Structures are given as C-alpha cells and as structure tokens.
Chain A
C-alpha cells in the first residue's frame, strides 16, 4: 500500500504530456469506450439531422404508397411553408410568447432567487416549494390548469376580486386570451428552473465585493446594480437564452389545453404544432423537414447571439 503513492508519483513524472498517444492500445481502448455512444449518436442524431436537410428538398412522405417515387423538388417545400399563413400565425405566436415570457419569467426568477438567498430561517423550505412545479410533469400541469382556467375557476375568482368582478375571460376558449392563459401555466411550471440557476450564480458572487461596496457607501440598489448584476451577467445571459429557446419549443401545453391543438382559431398554434401537424397528421415529411430546418436556424440564431454577448464580456476583462 505504502509504495503505491510513490510509484504513482514516478509514473506521473515520467509520463508523456496529456493528449499525446501513449500506447498503441490507447487508441483501441478509446474507441471501444466511445463506440456505443458514437454509434447511437450517428444513427439517431447525425443521420436524422442530415435527413432533415435532405428531405426538406424532396416530396418524401410518411407511409408512402408502394411504387411512389420520392422526388427532388428544390425549394418547393420552403416556398409552400412561407406562403402558408398558418406558418406565420405560428411564428408570430412563438415570438409573442417569447417577448412576454422571457423578460417576465427571468425577472420573476431573479426576484425569487434574491428572496430565497436572504439569510433568514426556512429559506430551504421556500426554495423547495418554488422549485416543486419542475417535478410535476408538464402534461399533468396542463390538465390541472384546464380546470383552474375555466371561466368559473380559481384564476377568475382571483381576478374578479382584484377588479371587483369586471374581468372574467374564458381563458382557453377566447382567442384573445388563450395565449395569456398558456403563458400563466408556463411561468408557473418552469420559473423554478431559472430561479435555481440564478440562485447558484448569486451565491458565487464573492461577499467581499459587497463589503467593499458598503464601505464605499453604496445603498442596496447600488449594490444590486454594480455588484450583483455584473457578477451574474453570464448566468443571466444563459437563462435568457435558454428561456428564449424553450419559448420556441412550446408544445405540450398548446397541444393539450385548448379544445383542439393550437386552438381556438390558431390562437395558440406554435411552430412545433405546425411541425407535428405537417409531418405526422398530413404525413408530409418533406414539408415537415423544411419546418424543422427553419426551427433549427431560429435556435442557432438565438444561441449565436448569446455566445457573442458572453464573449464580449471576456474581451472587456
């Protein structure tokens, strides 16, 4: 036993630097360890990824009748997507959802994180409660909220008390309010996730910075503005990005909660509803793939913007 640490030290000292192949056997070992994941990724991520691009230029169909040849159709699928008003309805709904939910939910999450970051008793209990909806499956959440959002439900009782009985919309039945209802559910269900990430970020800001700021006479707001915000900049950007991407992935709630998916009158139709509707219900794999590629480009754009902003921070330093 006693000899092992010494030998390890010798081995470490004489070993070649990292990253250089040491033994012929290492390459075999490396690929044996990698093989299962590499094969699975190739078959179920890389292949469908390439197929999405390829199919988007063909008239490929799900369950095509025998003898039907798949043909190259160039940009036809993209043109048909862009000429379809329902695509634009879906895109506008996603953007509306993102524009409202991203700032609202991030602000709410930061507020919750600051609250449970106080040095008071029982904060773990409140953190647990605020995070709890994450463990409730979204489909179950959606079903429970169908009842809560019914015209005579608890949500309307709350708003009637607040407005002396003047505000009681049919959340899921009225096209003017359906997306607002979906927004409420979505924030309830997922704000705890953002809160936890921001809480970890808050706790990483060194206490000494706050002490220095207090010595300089900074008040609470100035401490927040000049210590907290810069200290959590990157996690905050990450939360904004991930919330934006999640806004474009919106599907479960809008498929389950209205009387028909994306309803009423397409008021909650999203890109994902469009993709499933096209690829599955209409079996138009070609057009569905074109939509998938468009969806990917949107997600990529959001991610690139975030990476840029994070990099700028690094350069300033």
Chain B
C-alpha cells in the first residue's frame, strides 16, 4: 500500500517541478524576446523623439544637449517659437503647398491613367495588346535615374523648368503600377462585368461602376506607394527647380538646413511639421501601409 501511494505522490512532485521549470523557461524566453524587441524599438524611435523634443527647445541647446539624455527633454522650452521661425524663415507653407499639389496630382492622375491601361490589358481583347504588355513589363526595370538628364533637357526645351507640372506630368504613367493593376484585374471574377455588359452598359460604365470599385485594395496599395514616393522625391526637384516657388518639402528642409544662421531648433521644427502628420496617418492606417508594401514588393 505504502509503495503504491508513494509512487503517484513522487510522480506528482516531479511533474510539478517539471511544470515549474517549463514555466521558468517560458518566462525567460518572454523576457529575452521582449527585451530585444524593446531595445530595437528604442533604436527606431530615438531619432524621432529627438526631433520632436528639439522642435520645442532653444536653438543653442539642441546641439549643446545632443550627446546626452537631455536631448530628449524639451528644455529650455520655447513654445511654438521654433515653428514660427520655420514657417517664416524657412517658407514652410510655400513648400508644403507645392508638395501637396505635386503629390495629389501624381496620386490621383496616376491612379486613373495606370488603372485604365492595366484594365485594358487584363480585360479588353484589342490588337497590339501583347506587344504593349511586353513593353510595360520591360519598362519596369528602367530606373528614373537613367532618364533624369535627358528629361531635364526636355523640360528646358519645353520651358517647364522651375514649375510644378514638371514635377507631376512625367510621373503619372508608371509601368510598375500599370502591372500591379493588370495583375489585380486578372484576378477578379468576370461575372459581374459581363452581366453589366449584357444589361447594355458601355465599357466606360463597366469600368467605373463595376471593375474599379472591385479593385479598391489595388487602388489603396498603389495610392499609398505612389504617395510615399512622390512626397519624398528629392533628386528631381534638385535638378528641375530653381527657386522657392516650385520647391517641395524635401528640398525645402535641405535648403533651410544650410541657411545661416543654422538654428537647429527651427530646423527640427521644420522636420517635425513635415514628418509628424504623416506619422499619425501611418499609425492609423498602418495595416494598409504594410499590406500595400508587402503585396507590391512581392509582385516586383
């Protein structure tokens, strides 16, 4: 009897010990995993925190405190003075307006133009389609950098230098997004479109009423990517703009940063004004952003 009662008791003890040790191991793994994640998060966040703190600090303290933890404390606090300076000395709002016009133009114009061709390639049986598709696919590889110098000469010949449309029109048709729409439209079932056709709808109605609404995810993904690329464009404005009237934000901050006196508080305020609104939009729509990048990335 004693032996039989002892055995289960003994087993119970070792089981409990084993459980405790497994739990300890789990706890250890959690601590390590979260520890690593938090250190990495700090690495990605500290420049942004530095910028935000700097935008509220006295100009001289931004550099003076730049090597210690005081860099993240907005003291001496100067309120919105840096932001005012960035707006006045840096002409922030002119560049902001330019950036908004350029990006809005490229995003909306680009979505229409690229999705129309993508749809035609996927759905409309027309002569020359195969060749056109081959050309679009081949052009995806051509980087803009190869076209910049001859394009600059074309702009000069057209009298487009230092204008906003020189920063919009050349970027509307983009083979990568034509291909994105093409493959998306191929994947949507045809039934609805064919039913509408039978009801007597013309091709334009079928596209705008039926096909385009079904392709919302493709429009969202392409729209986000086109926006990010156009909003951050730096190379082309360096080449094609001559004065503040046509300069977008990226060029604006680069110029402001080199403008004496180099007041770093004002520069951080300029950076914060161009970065923070987009960060907030990103945090709200992060799922769409991430999905957009992942899908197009894999297609390329």
Query: Which A residues form the contact surface with B (CB < 8 A)?
Result: 4-5, 7-8, 11-12, 15, 18-22, 26-31, 33-34, 36-38, 40-41, 44-49, 51-52, 55, 60, 62-63, 112, 115-116, 118, 120, 124, 126-148, 150, 152-154, 156-157, 188, 192-193, 196-197, 199-201, 235, 238, 242, 245, 249, 251-252, 255-256, 272, 275-276, 278-280, 285, 288-289, 291-293, 295-296, 299-300, 303
Contacts and interface: CB of A to CB of B under 8 A. Distances in A.
B181 to A, nearest CB: 10
Nearest to A17: B125
A138 B235 CA distance: 11
B149 to A, nearest CB: 4
Given A30-B126, A34-B126, A38-B173, 14 more contacts: A8-B192, A26-B124, A34-B121, A45-B175, A49-B150, A52-B147, A130-B40, A132-B282, A147-B50, A147-B264, A148-B66, A152-B67, A255-B234, A279-B149
Nearest to B296: A197
A145 B30 CA distance: 33
A2 to B, nearest CB: 12
Interface of B: 30, 33-34, 36-37, 40-41, 43-48, 50-51, 54, 62-63, 66-68, 71, 112-114, 116-117, 119-121, 124-129, 132, 135-136, 139, 141-143, 145-154, 156, 169-173, 175, 178, 190-192, 194-195, 197-199, 203, 207, 228, 231-232, 234-235, 238-239, 249-251, 253-254, 257, 264, 267-268, 271, 274-275, 278-279, 282-283, 286, 289-290, 293-295, 297-298, 300
Given A5-B191, A29-B203, A34 B117 contact: yes
Interface majority SS on B: helix, strand, loop or mixed?
helix
Contact of A139 (B71, B153, B250, B278): B250
Contact of B150 (A7, A15, A52, A156): A52
Given A7-B198, A128-B283, A199-B294, A188 B126 contact: no
Nearest to A296: B146
B124 A275 contact: no
Given A21-B125, A48-B154, A147-B264, A139 B132 contact: no
Contact of B203 (A33, A150, A238, A288): A33
B143 A118 contact: no
A48 B147 contact: yes
Contacts of A288: 149
Contacts of B254: 139, 142-143, 255-256
A139 B256 CA distance: 11
A26 B292 CA distance: 32
A20 B126 CA distance: 8
Contact of B113 (A18, A37, A130, A296): A37
B173 A144 contact: no
